Chains A and B, each alone.
Chain A
Amino acid sequence: MHETHFGSPRNRVDGRLKVTGAAPYAGEFTAPDLAHGYVVSGAIAKGRIKSIDTKAALAVPGVVQVFTHENRPRTAFRSNAYQDEVAPPGKPFRALYDERIVYSGQPVALVVAEDFEIARYAASLVRVTYEAEPHETDLEKVRGKAYVPPVKRQGISPPPKPRGDSEAAFGNSPVKVKAGYRIAIEHHNPMEPHATTVVWEGDERITVHDKIQGAQNSQSYITSVFGLPSSDVRVISPFVGGAFGSGLRPQYQLFLAVMAALELKRSVRVVLTRDQMFTMGYRPDGLQEVALGANQDASLQSIRHDLIANTSTWEDYQEATVNWSAMLYHCDNVTTTHKLATTDLYTPADMRAPGAPTGLFAMESAMDELAHKLGVDPVQLRLRNYADIDESTNKYHTSKELRAAYQLGAERFGWSKRNPKPRSMKEGRELIGWGMATGAWEAQMAQTSARATLTVDGRLEVATASADIGTGTYTILTQIAADALGLPMERVTTKLGDSSLPKSPVEGGSWTAASAGSAVELACHKVRETLFKYARGMDGSPLANADIDRVAFHGERIALISDPSRFVTLTDALRAGGVEKIEAEETAAPSKLTQMRYNSFTHSAIFAEVRVDEELGQVRVTRIVDAVAAGRIINPKTARSQIIGGVVFGIGMAMHEESMPDHNLGRFMNHNLAEYHVPANADIHGIEVIFVEEHDTLTSPLGVKGLGEIGIVGTAAAIANAVFHATGKRIRELPITIDKVIGTPEAA
């Protein structure tokens, strides 16, 4: 067998562009007539704009126009015209729609000027008077008004139906734990702020460069909101400077930039400031309670997990948060609930593994509490209650090598050397804690189309409208395509992030590798068939009597597997066909039958070491081992990076990240990267990734399950459990900051 690119570590194909600064992001496209828009953010959380005075701003030389709700050009009247591909149920927020203020930081004006500094200066001159109304941003205060969302969000499973009688079983359980858990609101904060450059092409035609995880999502939003034919709107976003979910839905700068460009009939760019990155979606606040009941033999008898999460007053945002507690372990009596309560904040947004790290922080902390109470090793407790099927839906798993993940992770970490007693491990002035948790995320495939074009110069181009937000999509699609036609990777070009390319859903949900990868492979195989037909039909073809399954595409040749000296080169085959190129477009879709019978998840066993200086309350996460079972790995190098990145996100969730609202003002106060802490280099120590061998023939034709999210899931729980092991202090509210480490009493 030839070595395939699939399964081999490969450097990123877009690496050179990124290390030389040549990769263009949304706010870096330009045009000769480019004007710059600067957003004016509202100052109150709720009420109405009484007056808005733009005279001083308009008087600044170089200011082109100031848009407010008073002079906003007409856009679609019906609110459902503003719904995008991943919108939750409700009426989407519409910037500059009317005088109503519905959250703090809401855009109230857009100043457009000849250059950036003038726009920024003029924006400071816009004077707004408000009539404020009482607001509520504190979820605790509205928990009594929580409701079950009447309309389910598409693509998000609601909590499964209860099974058994969790209440009675809890009552009868000899060993019980029950506690409340909470995480902090987190903002995505990709390094690239949200930005849109609209290039005016004349005749009402625009090319839009938007920070978006799916160019076609922005395109359909624009055509729907502004009533434009799709032929007049092209969205091109080849590079996205991180998004983590914040780029799934079109953000308000897209609306503002397109509105201004259409009205002014010129090119306009709008880039948000870092503080405005806190005026959009976030990982929601959630009040959680988990109750577990078990027998002395460590078998789970009852699981209950309740959640009240915040949403906005205009949309019912939902994510799968408690569902994990119903599927992860064998248990006959399970109840999970998910309610919402509205606060006067923006609608939450999907953020890396939406729901799972929130729900599993609570559930996996509770499992650790139960293990401690039972006097059972935390890994053993999980193995004792291992679920062989998904009991929440009574479906089989397409594959589940979680048992191996526990074993390999524990071995690599050295878990057997753990003294189970809290506060028992110490080095110098630091307490050492070892904790672990389970992670799970959906492995999905979504219908995706791709095109493959082989030209007579021996170059192959593959294309789909999906995106690479740093995930490595360009690289893995290049690997798959190169393998399919036996080309070196340098001969393959992958195109992404363009609404004119074959249809793809947004890049998200960890489905892109399986979905776009399968589509690219199908399209390449179609090209292969045509090519083989030409090769076989050549006069005196050495492949004349061969079937396609008897030949190998390798080294830019089609050769007989049994006798590689009998071959036709790809370019000879193309010439024999008398064509300049072979092009094929194919669509890959998940199997409906498989989906009816099976559920598919990636799993992980994550082990964490912390060192705690108790006098200072300082916690360092010194070591992480994450054993991941996620089917076949296309590129071990970029795959490892994705898991490391997810783990770092999880360390941020556990230790640093917290958007702090001032409930009197109804506004996040730490809206910058100095006060909203994300992990810095010095916060991150050893992270080891193990990919557990897992054969999965059902999730996708490639055997791939996806890696974008699983790295974060379980990380915060493993760290909190390690902090307990180090200190005997059970911290149930994230992030684990110094005040909590010092202020939490040791558990009884």
Chain B
Amino acid sequence: MADLDLPARQGFAPDASPAALPSEIPLTLTINGERRELHVRPWTTLLDLLREDLHLYGTKKGCDHGQCGACTVLVNGQRINSCLALAVSKDGCEVTTVEGLAASDGALHPMQEAFIEHDAFQCGYCTPGQICSAIGLVHEGHARTPEEIREQMSGNICRCGAYTNIVDAIEDVLAKGTTK
């Protein structure tokens, strides 16, 4: 019978006397075209800011470790894992989430249309990340073949297994050249 004295599985040594909470830092972001003046603590990720502070729950948390891609958003047009970005590090950036893709009249982005048409999702939880990632991929301009799409979309896991339909949807958008 061994006596163990362990931190409860959090991975870092417990702080015996917690200091006061870190203070909030001012931050300016343009989110889906709207300029926002915000105050956030330095430990807040862009993902948690979007979801918990701004209630933009379209961006999903699947792993919080940059391993699944569900949190993919576009920052200055580039796809990133928003769970791996501290919000304060993005001061002055333009952030586009899934909520900002459709036109103001409600018309869907061609990638959203293609995802519906090709049945490129089932449960829908990875879908906002897949769509943002796919738009980022098209902008990057490197993917030409299905093989390249597969490779360059492999940071976005879909547990329902809609991959073949996702590739079809992206190919369709690439072929039509309609992405904004």
A258 within 8 A of B: no
Q: Which residue of B lies closest to A711 (CB)?
A: B161
Distance in angstroms from B177 CB to nearest chain A CB is 20
Q: Give A contacts to B, CB under 8 Å.
A: 11-12, 14-25, 27-28, 30, 40-44, 50, 56, 59-62, 105, 108-109, 115-118, 121-133, 189-193, 239-244, 271, 273-274, 469-472, 637-638, 640-642, 644-649, 672-674, 678-684, 686-687
Q: CA A118 – CA B44 in complex, angstroms?
A: 10
Q: Which residue of A lies closest to B129 (CB)?
A: A191
Q: Which residue of B lies closest to A129 (CB)?
A: B5
Neighbouring B residues of A23 by C-beta, 8 Å: 124
Beta-carbon contact of B14 and A125 below 8 Å: yes
8 smallest beta-carbon distances between A and B, as pairs: A21-B58, A648-B161, A470-B123, A241-B125, A18-B124, A470-B122, A21-B98, A645-B161
Q: CA A24 – CA B128 in complex, angstroms?
A: 12
Beta-carbon contact of B4 and A44 below 8 Å: yes
Q: CA A641 – CA B108 in complex, angstroms?
A: 22
Beta-carbon contact of B8 and A132 below 8 Å: no
Q: Which residue of A lies closest to B55 (CB)?
A: A30
B175 within 8 A of A: no
Q: List 19 A-B contacts (CB under 8 A).
A: A11-B116, A15-B115, A41-B8, A41-B9, A109-B8, A133-B1, A241-B125, A242-B125, A471-B122, A641-B122, A641-B162, A645-B162, A673-B63, A680-B163, A681-B150, A681-B151, A681-B156, A684-B163, A686-B164
Neighbouring B residues of A19 by C-beta, 8 Å: 98, 108, 112, 115-116, 121, 124, 127-128, 131
Q: Mark B138-180, 1 if CB is under 8 A from A, else 0.
A: 0000000000011101111111111111110000000000000
Q: Contact partner of A191 among B41, B62, B112, CB < 8 A?
A: B62
Q: CA A687 – CA B161 in complex, angstroms?
A: 11
Q: Contact partner of A673 among B17, B44, B68, B150, CB < 8 A?
A: B68
Q: CA A472 – CA B2 in complex, angstroms?
A: 52
Additional A-B contacts beyond A20-B112, A644-B164 (12; CB < 8 A): A19-B121, A21-B56, A22-B99, A28-B57, A44-B6, A131-B3, A191-B125, A241-B123, A638-B119, A641-B160, A647-B161, A681-B156
Beta-carbon contact of A12 and B160 below 8 Å: no
Q: Contact partner of A56 among B9, B15, B122, CB < 8 A?
A: B15
Beta-carbon contact of A679 and B8 below 8 Å: no
Distance in angstroms from A720 CB to nearest chain B CB is 19
Q: CA A633 – CA B173 in complex, angstroms?
A: 29
B10 within 8 A of A: yes
Q: CA A644 – CA B6 in complex, angstroms?
A: 45
Q: Contact partner of A674 among B21, B65, B161, CB < 8 A?
A: B65
B82 within 8 A of A: no
Q: Which residue of B lies closest to A646 (CB)?
A: B161
Beta-carbon contact of B154 and A127 below 8 Å: no
Q: Which residue of B lies closest to A22 (CB)?
A: B58
Neighbouring B residues of A61 by C-beta, 8 Å: 20-21
Beta-carbon contact of B165 and A644 below 8 Å: yes
Give the interface residue-count category, chain B. 35 or more
Beta-carbon contact of B64 and A274 below 8 Å: yes
Beta-carbon contact of B163 and A117 below 8 Å: no
Beta-carbon contact of A126 and B8 below 8 Å: yes
Distance in angstroms from B9 CB to nearest chain A CB is 5
Beta-carbon contact of B64 and A273 below 8 Å: yes
Neighbouring B residues of A640 by C-beta, 8 Å: 119
Neighbouring B residues of A43 by C-beta, 8 Å: 4, 6-9
Neighbouring A residues of B16 by C-beta, 8 Å: 56
Q: Contact partner of B41 among A60, A109, A117, CB < 8 A?
A: A117
Distance in angstroms from A713 CB to nearest chain B CB is 14
Q: Which residue of A lies closest to B19 (CB)?
A: A60
B60 within 8 A of A: yes
Given A24-B57, A56-B17, A123-B10, also A192-B123 (CB < 8 A): yes
Beta-carbon contact of B161 and A644 below 8 Å: yes
Q: Contact partner of A189 among B4, B64, B116, B159, CB < 8 A?
A: B159
Distance in angstroms from A142 CB to nearest chain B CB is 21
Distance in angstroms from A508 CB to nearest chain B CB is 15
Neighbouring B residues of A115 by C-beta, 8 Å: 52
Q: Which residue of B lies closest to A130 (CB)?
A: B4
Neighbouring A residues of B123 by C-beta, 8 Å: 190-192, 239-243, 469-470
Q: CA A192 – CA B6 in complex, angstroms?
A: 30
Beta-carbon contact of B162 and A21 below 8 Å: no
Beta-carbon contact of B7 and A645 below 8 Å: no
Beta-carbon contact of A274 and B63 below 8 Å: yes
Q: Which residue of B lies closest to A191 (CB)?
A: B125
Neighbouring B residues of A125 by C-beta, 8 Å: 14-15, 18
Beta-carbon contact of B163 and A679 below 8 Å: yes
Given A19-B112, A56-B15, also A681-B163 (CB < 8 A): yes
Q: CA A30 – CA B54 in complex, angstroms?
A: 12
Could you say which of B131, B153, B161 has the most chain A C-beta atoms within 10 Å of its C-beta? B161
B76 within 8 A of A: no
Q: CA A273 – CA B156 in complex, angstroms?
A: 18
Q: CA A538 – CA B107 in complex, angstroms?
A: 43
Q: CA A15 – CA B162 in complex, angstroms?
A: 14
Q: Mark B63-77, 1 if CB is under 8 A from A, else 0.
A: 111011010000000
Q: CA A62 – CA B151 in complex, angstroms?
A: 44
Q: Which residue of A lies closest to B6 (CB)?
A: A43
Beta-carbon contact of A56 and B67 below 8 Å: no
Beta-carbon contact of B10 and A648 below 8 Å: no
Q: Which residue of B lies closest to A239 (CB)?
A: B124
Could you say which of B1, B59, B63 has the most chain A C-beta atoms within 10 Å of its C-beta? B63
Q: Which residue of A lies closest to B114 (CB)?
A: A19
Neighbouring B residues of A672 by C-beta, 8 Å: 63, 65, 67
B117 within 8 A of A: yes
Neighbouring B residues of A686 by C-beta, 8 Å: 164
Neighbouring A residues of B21 by C-beta, 8 Å: 60-62, 118
Beta-carbon contact of B3 and A21 below 8 Å: no
Distance in angstroms from B158 CB to nearest chain A CB is 7
Q: Contact partner of A129 among B6, B154, B155, CB < 8 A?
A: B6
Neighbouring B residues of A60 by C-beta, 8 Å: 18, 21
